[in-house]
Copies of this chain bind each other. A is one copy, B any other.
Amino acid sequence: MIEIKLSAKVEYGVRAMAVLAIYHQDGPLPLREIAEQEKISLKFLEQIFPGLRRSGLVHSVRGSRGGYVLSRAPAEIKIGDIVRAVEGPITPVDCLSEPHNDFCCHRKDECLTRQVWEKLRDRINDVLDEVSLDELVEVKPSETLT
């Protein structure tokens, strides 16, 4: 079994954003296209994108010939942004998201393990904020800058 695991929503969300990054120039890209390319259920994608829009990472164009467009350049979008947009704040244990209560951990003054999870949370966020979308879709050596 595995214990630190990304949800399918996050995985698909990042994959979908990567596709959007590739076709960034070509105007709005409908989810149908992304679904096809990445073999993801259209209906599931439809469920994922509202979060990305609310977080301002993409903007939507409704109606025929509509679709989604990145609202910033791929270089300005970090993987962490996507992950947080899809699922909310990243935190390894509930204890960290709530205001500290003494029942969270039952040792006298302070939760001993809390500091480890805090460190873990911070590092996870760091890693995810180090990589941006453009790095993800970087083309192979063949098409690097002239």
Contacts and interface: CB of A to CB of B under 8 A. Distances in A.
Interface in A21-39: 37-39
A4 interface: yes
A88 interface: yes
Interface in A54-75: none
Contact of A123 (B11, B105, B113, B127): B127
Contact of A4 (B39, B90, B116): B90
A136 B123 contact: no
Contacts of A137: 112
B116 A14 contact: yes
Interface string A81-94: 00100111111111
B124 A90 contact: no
Nearest to A131: B116
Contacts of A117: 6
Given A5-B92, A6-B93, 13 more contacts: A1-B87, A2-B87, A3-B7, A4-B4, A4-B90, A5-B91, A6-B117, A37-B107, A38-B105, A38-B106, A112-B136, A116-B131, A120-B128
Interface of A: 1-7, 9-11, 14-15, 18, 37-39, 79, 83, 86-94, 97, 105-107, 109, 112-113, 115-117, 119-120, 123-124, 126-128, 131, 136-137, 140
